[in-house]
Structure 1
Amino acid sequence: MNTPSHILVVEDEPALSDILRQYLEQAGYRATILNAGTHATETILETAPDLVILDLMLPGKDGLTICREVRAKSDVPIIMETAKVEEIDRLLGLELGADDYMCKPFSPRELVARVRAILRRSAPRDAREQANPHGIVLDENSWRATVGDEPLDLTRREFQLLQVLHRRPGRVYSRSQLLDFAFPENAAIIDRTIDSHIKNIRHKIKAVSGDWDPIRSVYGVGYSYEE
């Protein structure tokens, strides 16, 4: 019998933390709640949970500080919560190393889905491949992309954009970050060009894989790649 994954929720709103605990436990996880940030870093490092859900605004110590401290010593997956949409751009800009971001109010079901996706990515590679028979393979030397055994007919810019997303599954990139990372040599490209390229990439992936779409849109922010 498999041991259920341990999810640590660092959230100071009792009503919300109780709802999250119920949803996580119903999904088969073991959930622990911390209602303040004071000793959160020590608890995370000592108990080594499988994933941390971390609120941005906490009494005692804020989520940004906790994330920095944890990332200096651990690669545990972290989902950050924030009550302000504009804070997401700030979090992305700081590149704290969080794996995902949720803006309050959010659906507990969606959070559980994000938890499941991140834990699946954290599994050993052979387990991931069994769970996802599609899989995208990028050959940077030949500029060739395949889904399974099927080639994707990507343009150079589409390949560069998918390459950035594919390197860090789960990381959310803003459009401006994608411009900087994927097309550093071309300052003339505008933000909305990213949307057009993403649309083309999705169409090409679906054309060879059925209805599989590994690119997630994050409203008001940008995109991430989900294996």
Structure 2
Amino acid sequence: MTERILLIEDDPRLAEMVKNYLGEAGFAVTVSSHGLDGVALEAKEPFDALVLDLMLPDIDGLEVCRRIRARSQTPILMLTARGDAMDRVVGLEIGADDYLPKPFEPREMLARLRAILRRRGREQKSEVLRFGRLEIDLGARNARLDGAECALTPYQFSLLLVLAEHAGRVMSRDAIMDGLKNAKLESFDRSIDVHISRIRSAIEDDAKKPRRIITVRGSGYVFAKVQD
């Protein structure tokens, strides 16, 4: 079955280039030049993924992402000409699956798009990772402690999943960011530490004495394999 892509991009030349390139790769591409129109299209028609520009003439890509994520888990690849790392962090926090700065090579865009489609396909198998009283549901994209859903943002869930999939292995910040497909952020960015602190507040019995996500001084973090 041909996978359908919604491209929300207001630059007509770039939109035409992306549409043609993805079309040659076997995708069916629908183009919208405005954020509000894109949100409405996504609500009416089934798409396998979105390619979303950050800078749009009406509402920006972050707001588009926020509105779509309120009702849908359709994979989102965000494009932007802005290099601000905070935009990248915010985009991932509110639910973008990956981030590609302009200018970009079409082959890289295609590779990233295929990667998020594969990743979402695996998650839709509704696999559940169990660590004692903690369950991580890949299909529902949530974590539950003693059956109660933990309060995590989409970005924090993705971060938790990266750690859990490497349970028992010490992961540096670089390795975590690579797992999040966010290699453009530098390893000294402290947002990883802030988000892990918030994840601990959601999944630990005592966030000040964590037993699930453990800090390894000078190395990074390790997710405990065996938990009560």
| Length-normalised TM-score, structure 2 | 0.60
The 3 A distance-change label for structure 1 pair 93 and 187 is: farther
Unaligned segments of structure 2, at least 5 residues: 126-162, 201-213, 222-228
Determine whether 1:178 maps to 2:192. yes
Q: Which has the higher helix share?
A: 1
- Alignment partner, residue 69 of structure 2: 71
CA–CA distance in structure 1, aligned partners of residues 171 and 216 of structure 2: 16
CA–CA distance in structure 1, aligned partners of residues 166 and 38 of structure 2: 41
1:7 counterpart SS class: strand
CA–CA distance in structure 1, aligned partners of residues 123 and 29 of structure 2: 25
**Cα RMSD after superposing both structures:** 3.5
Give a deviation string over 1:47-82, Cα, whole Å, max 9, x none: 121000011111122111111000000000001111
CA–CA distance in structure 2, aligned partners of residues 38 and 138 of structure 1: 36
CA–CA distance in structure 2, aligned partners of residues 90 and 6 of structure 1: 27
| Length-normalised TM-score, structure 1 | 0.61
CA–CA distance in structure 2, aligned partners of residues 137 and 105 of structure 1: 34
1:185-200 map, 5 Å: 189=218
Determine whether 1:62 maps to 2:23. no
- Alignment partner, residue 211 of structure 1: none
Residues 6 and 47, structure 2, Cα contact 8 Å, conserved in 1 = yes
The one-letter code of the counterpart of 2:87 is: R
CA–CA distance in structure 1, aligned partners of residues 191 and 27 of structure 2: 34
The 3 A distance-change label for structure 1 pair 137 and 28 is: same
Unaligned segments of structure 1, at least 5 residues: 128-135, 144-153, 198-227
- Alignment partner, residue 218 of structure 1: none
The 3 A distance-change label for structure 1 pair 178 and 11 is: same
- Alignment partner, residue 86 of structure 2: 89
Q: How many corresponding residue pairs?
A: 164
CA–CA distance in structure 2, aligned partners of residues 101 and 139 of structure 1: 23
Q: Which runs of 4+ in 1 moved over 2 A?
A: 88-91, 124-127, 136-140, 157-162, 169-189
CA–CA distance in structure 1, aligned partners of residues 182 and 76 of structure 2: 13
